[in-house]
Structure 1
Amino acid sequence: MALHERLGRMDQARELRSFQTQPLQMRAAAPGKVGVLRLGFSMRDGRSVLHDLYRVAPLLVQQALYWDEAMPELPVCPIISIGGGILQGDRYKIDISIGEGACAHVTTQSANRIHRMDANYASQHQTVILQAGAYLEYLPDFTIPYRDSRFISETDIVVAEDATLLYGEMVLAGRKHHHAEERFGLDMFSTTVTVRRPDGRKLFSEKILIEKGDPTIDFAAVMRGFDAFANIICVTPPEIAARIKERFETNFSPEAARALSGVSRLPNGAGLMLRAVGIESYDVRGEVRRFWRVVREEARSRTLPPGYYWR
């Protein structure tokens, strides 16, 4: 599907009906506001390499780096946004493909800041494809929606039966230390993830929608006063998923807890999902890292290096 067709489809989303006005500064999806990034990894001479790289500002990847001491064969690609954050009218398109037997780690240079908006919205469409035996860790840093921001994201994922994908979305309630009204002061935040097999069979789809003034945000089964959350999906063969679930310890002690987390099974034997909430971003990162380490050890017989990827 062409980029303009994908953007047009997203324009029709119900939650965007109130946000169709054009910015006074530069119209939505104007040149300079459409960021495009394509990353393709494959095996070359026994090594996983970034063989395909296409980028259009404000999205940028410079090259693959091999600095993971615990998994030196892993190419690491930080995505850089040279625009200083996501602005109204921005449209991002990211495509990542991992060839047969290849591996990669894709992250972001820093947190994804969604700036305050008075017109239109910002959108992102992603496609992620893993071929047979592939392994991908796609773990962007936190997304921080500012007060009055509007953002919609759709991610379409295709994973081969014997491949493993670790894909994460981590979100902060806003700049809560900047102003009291920043905490979930966004106008709208919408993210949808759909996972399929190469033959088109749908495994599952999940959507998170947060709209301004929603009183359910602090219900006990939602955020319950916490300010950061993570949804991390691990699509992997059933035998690997079983070992991961057996090893990962649920963290659920509501009294004086800084973070809570637990793992559940995904539909159709697709794998596992980690859900975590915490007071600060680093509390949630700690829970994500616990899960990430177990996934890597069980899927690739490698562990994580000391410290964090996120700085």
Structure 2
Amino acid sequence: MALHAQLGLLDAAREVRDFQDEPAQMRAAAPGKVGELRLGFGMRGGRSVLHDLYRVAPLLVQRALYWDEAMPDLPICSIISVGGGILQGDRYKIDICVGEEACAHVTTQSANRIHLMDANYASQHQTLTLEAGAYLEYLPDFTIPYRDSRFINQTDIVIAEDATLLYGEMVLAGRKHHHESERFGLDLLSVAVAVRRPGGRKLFAEKILIEKGDGSVDLPAVMRGYDAFANILCLTPPPIAARIKGRFGTHFPAEAPRAISGVSRLPNDAGLMLRAVGMETYDVRREVRRFWQIVREEARGQTLPQDFLWR
């Protein structure tokens, strides 16, 4: 599907109908506000490599590096935003394809900041394709929606039955240490995902929608007063999913927990979902990393390297 057609689907979404006015600075989707990134990984000479790279600023990937000491054959790409964050009227598109038996890790250079907006909105459309036996870890850093920001993200996943994908979103309630009005002071945050098999069979779809003034966000079954959350998918064959679930367990301390997490099964034997909430980003990161390590060990027979000191 062409870039403008994909972005047009988000333009037609119900939740952004009230945000169609044009910014005074530069019209929405103008040149310089449409970022596009395409990454293709495949096997070359018995090694996974980044063989296809296309980029349009403000999105940038320079090259794949191999710095994971626990999995030295893993090509790692960091997505860089040269725009300093997402602004009103920005339209991003990211395509990642992992070929047969190849592996890759894709992340972001830092947190994804969605700046204050007084017109229009920002959108991002992602397509992830995993062929037979492929393995992808796509773990962007935290998204931080500023007060009055509006952001809609759609991720479409096509995954072979024997492939494994670890993908998800981590979100902070806002610049919570900046001002009390920043905590869930956003106008709109819409994060949707749809998963299907290469033949077209739909496995499941999900959407997280937060709008300004939604008091349900702090209900006990939602955020329960916490400020950071993660929604992580592990799409993998049922035997691997069963082993992961058996090892992870539920983290729900009885007294004053800094983080709560749990894993549930996805429909149609698609895999597992990790949900975690925490007081700070590092509390949630800890739960995500614990899940990530188990996924890698069960799916690839390799573990994670020691965490960075600054994480």
Q: TM-score range by the shorter chain?
A: over 0.9
Across the aligned residues of Structure 1 and Structure 2, the Cα RMSD in angstroms comes to 0.9
Q: Measure the CA separation in 2 of the matches of 1:9 and 1:127.
A: 14
Q: Does 1:175 align with 2:209?
A: no
Equivalent in the alignment of 2:306 = 306
Q: Measure the CA separation in 1 of the matches of 2:5 and 2:299.
A: 36
**What is the aligned-residue identity percentage?**
79
State how 1:32-181 maps to structure 2 within 5 Å.
32-181=32-181
* Displacement after TM superposition at 1:190 (Å): 0.1
Q: Which amino acid aligns with 2:132?
A: A
Q: Which amino acid aligns with 2:104?
A: A
Contact kept, 8 Å, 1:112 with 1:144, in 2: the verdict is yes
Q: Measure the CA separation in 2 of the matches of 1:310 and 1:119.
A: 36
Equivalent in the alignment of 1:27 = 27
Q: Measure the CA separation in 2 of the matches of 1:36 and 1:217.
A: 32
Secondary structure at the aligned position of 2:244 is classed as helix
Aligned residues: 311
Deviations along 1:107-140, whole A, 9 cap, x unmatched? 0000000000000000000000000000000000
Secondary structure at the aligned position of 2:123 is classed as strand
Q: Measure the CA separation in 1 of the matches of 2:81 and 2:17.
A: 27
Secondary structure at the aligned position of 2:190 is classed as strand
Q: Measure the CA separation in 2 of the matches of 1:233 and 1:282.
A: 19
Contact kept, 8 Å, 1:141 with 1:310, in 2: the verdict is no
Q: Which amino acid aligns with 1:259?
A: A
Contact kept, 8 Å, 1:261 with 1:275, in 2: the verdict is yes
Equivalent in the alignment of 1:8 = 8
Equivalent in the alignment of 1:199 = 199
Q: Measure the CA separation in 2 of the matches of 1:254 and 1:310.
A: 29
Q: Which amino acid aligns with 1:117?
A: M
Q: Measure the CA separation in 1 of the matches of 2:257 and 2:145.
A: 25
Q: Measure the CA separation in 2 of the matches of 1:295 and 1:6.
A: 31
* Displacement after TM superposition at 1:168 (Å): 1.4
Equivalent in the alignment of 2:239 = 239
Q: Which amino acid aligns with 1:86?
A: I
State how 1:282-297 maps to structure 2 within 5 Å.
282-297=282-297
Secondary structure at the aligned position of 1:29 is classed as coil
Q: Which runs of 5+ in 1 are unaligned?
A: none
Q: Which amino acid aligns with 1:283?
A: D
Equivalent in the alignment of 1:188 = 188
Secondary structure at the aligned position of 1:216 is classed as helix
Q: Measure the CA separation in 1 of the matches of 2:112 and 2:195.
A: 23
Deviations along 1:130-167, whole A, 9 cap, x unmatched? 00000000000000000000000000000000000000
Secondary structure at the aligned position of 2:242 is classed as helix
Q: Measure the CA separation in 2 of the matches of 1:102 and 1:308.
A: 26
* Displacement after TM superposition at 1:261 (Å): 0.1
* Displacement after TM superposition at 1:6 (Å): 1.1
* Displacement after TM superposition at 1:253 (Å): 1.9
Secondary structure at the aligned position of 2:35 is classed as strand
The 3 A distance-change label for structure 1 pair 33 and 194 is same
Q: Measure the CA separation in 1 of the matches of 2:310 and 2:187.
A: 27
Equivalent in the alignment of 2:265 = 265
Q: Measure the CA separation in 2 of the matches of 1:86 and 1:307.
A: 28
The 3 A distance-change label for structure 1 pair 140 and 310 is farther
Q: Which amino acid aligns with 1:175?
A: R
Secondary structure at the aligned position of 2:88 is classed as coil
Contact kept, 8 Å, 1:110 with 1:310, in 2: the verdict is no
Q: Measure the CA separation in 1 of the matches of 2:138 and 2:310.
A: 13
Q: Which runs of 5+ in 2 are unaligned?
A: none
* Displacement after TM superposition at 1:249 (Å): 2.3
